[in-house]
Every structure is written in structure tokens, then in C-alpha cells.
Amino acid sequence: MLTHQGGVAVIDCAALATPVAKLIDRVRAQFPELVMIVAGGAGEQNTLAAQITDGSVHRFLHRPVSEQRVRLFVEAAWRRHAQGGVPQEMPAAQPPRRNRRTLITLALVAVLAVAAPFLWRALHAPQEAVHPPPAPRGAAAAEDPALESLLARANQALAAAALVAPPGENAADLYREALRHNARDPRALNGLEQVIDRLLAAAEIELQRQHLDAAQQLTNQARIIGPDHPRVAFVAAQIGAQRERAVLNKAQRAAAGGDVAGALATLDDAAHGEQRSTLVEEARQQLAQKQLDARVAEFLSRGRDALARGALIAPDEDNARFYFGSARALAPGDAAVQQAMQNLITRLQTEAHQALAAKNADQADLWIAAAADAGADAAQVRALRGEARQLRSGTDELTQLAADDPATQRARSAYGARVLSEARRALATQDIAGTRRWLAEARAASADEAGIAALDTALAAAQGDAQQDGSYVNASALTRTRYVAPQFPYVARERAIDGWVDLQFVVGTDGAVSDVAVVGAQPVGIFEQPALDAVRHWRYQPVMHDGHTVSQRARVRVRFTVQR
């Protein structure tokens, strides 16, 4: 720094032998004009709360890091340095312009060289009861009444589960507004972290219910708040795997029934390929074995390309797992297909071993699950999962100590009672879908078992009463405010096939459609998925009952007719 007249330093906590707070104080004493960025985890951020508040640390960079994010932070730090650097009595000297590009490059190279082994380390913390982030030490916070008001409103929105709505009064917006007042306030940063955790927990619940669109929407909301959050990537990968599995199952059913053209069309639509080839056109009539072999070879080629570039399980429907799985759906007994799948399994297991060696149990779980889905040997999968559990054992002991703390137990009990209260309120307004969601949250929070059981009984009774009363209404009796037309399947259009699909769904208190299910179709196996995809995006005016909005069950028939 003396040689190059450094103005910005990027410090990675993982490379330090000295406690980071102590090092920051020493560096600032020797280089008072230096603008410092620190890269690390949540623990290091808490340790540096005082230095972040007083400006000694200009920005805290959460791992894993990306080159783009490092560059943005460094450029912002240079602007801060040009304006006078960190708060101090004497103004900081701006480095000569001829050295600026060199210094930015040196800073980027330094941090990426140190941080590269940690780029994929997921900072995954156990789920705990939600309570407001701790206030910073000192009297600095009291100097900004507007900031304190924003944080108080944000904490209230978080406690009320108003995570991303309504606009301007939700926890995410309010915490972000607080950061615009003070970009280093740890309360706002920790608050956003809790919002992301809540959104991803809800996404995982929707994923377990096979509500992929709802899970994707929640994950996208979390990604907007924290694009580099490691759990966002993990949940998105799970959703992608579920989507791919649905596509492959549909293709396998078509191929097993002799509809090879339909199987190919399904895979082509999902794979975002080029314009439909002559192969698919001819397969519509009668697909010869030679054509099938060519298609399998194409999938294998795409899969090998994806394998070579490291796209093992992502992005969705453009990765080695999907392409090799597509080839296996068409030719499960082909030796080349079987070898390709084995190569993929080997790579997935290698990635799992590397993640375990790096002590990253969450990333290892992702690779292990992918290897199991691809057909890895069950004994090897059990061994890998055993290593992951062993890796977590130390963390689990610390988690148990925290769980036994009386303050934690009181907070968890209060949160469980609040969630049960929200479930009772949803049931009172006949919001069946909302009641189910709050009950799932109550179970996840280990709320009172007797209260959960009572609500389960009341919910079952409410659902039974609704069915006996014939509470399903024709969708035409409701006011639709948004319409998305279903896509006409290519195979049906080419064959001039008409049909219909009967669906039932729930219009929520906000007018959104959920719990969409097929109750009938003619012919079977062609129009169901396009109808489901379209109806899930419809919206209606909320139904009013006794002056309150309530959820409403509805039925609709979606018709598919070829224009002749």
C-alpha cells in the first residue's frame, strides 16, 4: 500500500490469523485515509458492528462473492475515497489518476485469489423464531429519528409476516429504505436476512406440496432482495429439478404409450431448442428407429457439452442431468445412454466429495440429492449422506445449546402462539388455503401441539361443510381481472385434436388462484398441463361475505378447439 499509494483495501476474514476487528483498528491507525471493505460471514459482521457503524469499515461483503459484486463495492469505495475517505480530522489524499485502474485491478485480483475457495460456501443458519434485530451499540442510532422510525416499522411488518406486501409498508421495502439512510446499520442488514429466510422457508413448503409456481414466485422475491444469497440458489435448484422431473415423466408416459412424437415434442418444448426439426415433423406420422437414434444422439451431445462446461444440474432444462435424462426417457436400454448417466453420476459424486472436504454440508446435500435422482448406487449415497450428517454434528451441538436458552424458548413460544392466532383468524374468514399455510408455519415453529390439533380438526370440519354445501361455484359467476390464454399443444394442433379440461381451484382473499387441480379431461394426457399453467396465472376480484373478503372454491372447463 505504501508503494502504490493505496486508497482502497479488500480484506477477507478467511485469510486472517489476527482477529479482524483488531486488524482493522491497526490498519486505520497507520493508514487513516484508507477505505476498507471486509469480506466474511455473519459472525464477522457482528464482530465488526462498531467499526461498520463508525465508518472504519466502508462496506461488508458477504461470502460467497462474485467478481461483479466485488467490482461494484471497490468502485463505490473509490468514489468514497475521492470524496474524503473515512470520517477523520484530516481529509484523505486522493490517489493519482494514473494509479486508479491499476489499484482497482490489484484489489479485485487480491480478493478473488483469497476468496476463490469460498465462492460456493453456503452460509446456512438454522431456522429460529423471528424477533427484531439487535440495536447497535452507542448513541449513533439516536441521531437519526427517521432511521429509527423506519426500523421500528420494519420490525412490526416482519412480526406481522408482511414480508414483501403491501408496497412501501412491507419488511423488505422498509429495511431497504433504512439502508438508504445508513448503509452500514447491522439491524437493517439482519432484518433483510430474516425476510429472505422466511421467504425461502415458505418456498420450500410450497415445493413439498408440488406447487412449483408458488415456490418459484417466493424464491424470485428472495432473489430480488439477496441475489447472492446461497439458499436462493439451493431452493431454485430444487424447483428446477422438480420441473425437469415432471417433464421427463410426461415424456416417458408418452413414449411408453407408443406416442414417440409426443414424447419428443414434450422434450423439445422444455429444452428451449431451435425451430422444430424435420425429425419431429416426420415423427408425427411414424417415427422410425433411425430417427429415434438421431434424437437420442442429439440429447447425448447436448448433455456432454453441458457436462464439459460444468452445467451439471443448472440452469433449468439446459443441463447435463436433463439432457441425459431426456435421452434415457427415449432409449433407456441404450448402452451410450447408460454410460452417459454413469459419467454424470461420477461427476455429481465428485462434487459432493469436494463440498464435504470444504466442510460445506449444504452444498454437499445438493450434489448428493442430484446423484441419488440420477440413479447412483444406494450404498454410496448412504455413505455420502452419513458424511454430511457427521459434518453437521458439531453445528448441531451448538444449535442445541442455543435452543436450550430460556430467552430463545420464550421467543419461540411467543412466535408459535402468534402463528396459531393467524391460523385461527384465517379460518374464521373461511380462508382455507391461508389456514393451511399458517398451520404449516406453526408446525415448523414447534407451536403448541394441542392448538395445532384443534385447528386441524376445525379445518377438516370447515372443508367438509364446504363440500356438503356444494361451495364450488362456476367460475363464470366470479369477476376475472386477469386472463392468460392456455398454449395449444403442438401435437394436438398438428393432428387437429380438440378437447377440454375440467379444473377446480381456490380464489384467495387477494384474488389470486391457488390449489389448482384437474378433475377431468378429454382426451387424457394432452391438454392438462397447458390448462393448469394458464389458470394458475388468472386473477379474480376477491369474494365478499358479510363485509369481509373470503376465499372461494370454483370450477371451470377450459376448451381447446382447432381453428378449421
Residue 390 resides in a domain: no
Q: Are residues 441 and 354 in the same domain?
A: no
Confidence of residue 542 (pLDDT cuts 50, 70, 90): very high
Work out the end-to-end distance of the chain between its first and last CA atoms, rounded to an integer number of angstroms.
76
User: Could you tell me whether strands 35-40 and 8-12 are parallel, antiparallel, or unpaired per DSSP bridges?
Assistant: parallel
Closest among 483, 538, 530, 532 to 513, alpha carbons compared: 538
* Burial class of residue 397, CB neighbours in 10 A (0-12, 13-18, 19+): exposed
Determine the Cα–Cα distance for residues 429 and 13; give it in Å rounded to an integer.
51
Q: Are residues 218 and 238 in the same domain?
A: no
Residue 139 has pLDDT above 50, yes or no: no
Determine the Cα–Cα distance for residues 124 and 202; give it in Å rounded to an integer.
16
Angle (CA) 288-290-294 rounded to 5° is: 120
Q: Are residues 222 and 240 in the same domain?
A: no
Q: Are residues 215 and 237 in the same domain?
A: no
Residue 314 cell numbers, joined: 443448472
Q: Are residues 264 and 279 in the same domain?
A: yes
Residue 470 has pLDDT above 80, yes or no: no
Closest among 23, 40, 34 to 58, alpha carbons compared: 34
Q: pTM of the entire structure?
A: 0.35
Q: Are residues 174 and 91 in the same domain?
A: no
* Burial class of residue 257, CB neighbours in 10 A (0-12, 13-18, 19+): exposed
Residue 198 resides in a domain: yes
247-296 pLDDT per residue, tens:
777 777 777 666 666 676 676 666 544 444 343 333 334 333 555 677 78
Percent of the chain with pLDDT over 90: 22
Contact 435, 465 (CB under 8 A): no
Residue 2 resides in a domain: no
Q: Are residues 478 and 556 in the same domain?
A: yes
Q: Are residues 255 and 371 in the same domain?
A: yes
Average pLDDT over residues 526-535: 91
**Domain CATH code at residue 109:** 3.40.50.2300
Q: Are residues 201 and 260 in the same domain?
A: no
105, amino acid identity: T
Confidence of residue 404 (pLDDT cuts 50, 70, 90): low
25-75 pLDDT per residue, tens:
888 888 888 889 998 887 788 888 888 877 888 888 877 776 766 777 788
Closest among 204, 202, 44 to 130, alpha carbons compared: 202
Residue 322 cell numbers, joined: 436433463
Which pLDDT does position 123 carry in this prediction? 37
Closest among 22, 227, 2, 228 to 115, alpha carbons compared: 228
Confidence of residue 104 (pLDDT cuts 50, 70, 90): very low
Residue 385 resides in a domain: no
How large is the angle between the packed helices 361-374 and 335-357, nearest 10 degrees? 170
Residue 3 resides in a domain: no
Determine the Cα–Cα distance for residues 132 and 199; give it in Å rounded to an integer.
16
187-201 pLDDT per residue, tens:
888 888 999 989 999
User: Could you tell me whether strands 513-522 and 499-507 are parallel, antiparallel, or unpaired per DSSP bridges?
Assistant: antiparallel
Residue 382 resides in a domain: no
Residue 55 resides in a domain: yes
Question: For residues 396 and 312, which has the higher predicted lDDT (pLDDT)?
Answer: 312
Alpha carbons within 13 angstroms on the beta-carbon side of residue 328 total 20
Query: Looking at 201, 228, 255, which one is the last position of a domain?
Result: 228
Residue 517 resides in a domain: yes
Listed ranges 224-233, 284-293, 377-386; the one with the highest mean pLDDT: 377-386
For residue 195, CA distances in Å to 39, 140, 158, 500, 559 come to 22, 25, 7, 41, 41
Average pLDDT over residues 385-390: 88
Q: Are residues 501 and 543 in the same domain?
A: yes
* Burial class of residue 84, CB neighbours in 10 A (0-12, 13-18, 19+): middle
Residue 514 has pLDDT above 90, yes or no: yes
Confidence of residue 219 (pLDDT cuts 50, 70, 90): very high
Q: Is the peptide bond preceding residue 167 cis, with omega within 30 degrees of 0?
A: no
Alpha carbons within 13 angstroms on the beta-carbon side of residue 320 total 23
For the chain, give the mean pLDDT.
78
Closest among 102, 88, 109, 98 to 10, alpha carbons compared: 109
Which pLDDT does position 316 carry in this prediction? 76
Residue 309 cell numbers, joined: 462446461
Contact 195, 158 (CB under 8 A): yes
Total domain count, the chain: 5
Q: Are residues 351 and 251 in the same domain?
A: yes
**Domain CATH code at residue 480:** 3.30.2420.10
Q: Are residues 25 and 108 in the same domain?
A: yes
Domain that holds residue 424: 406-468
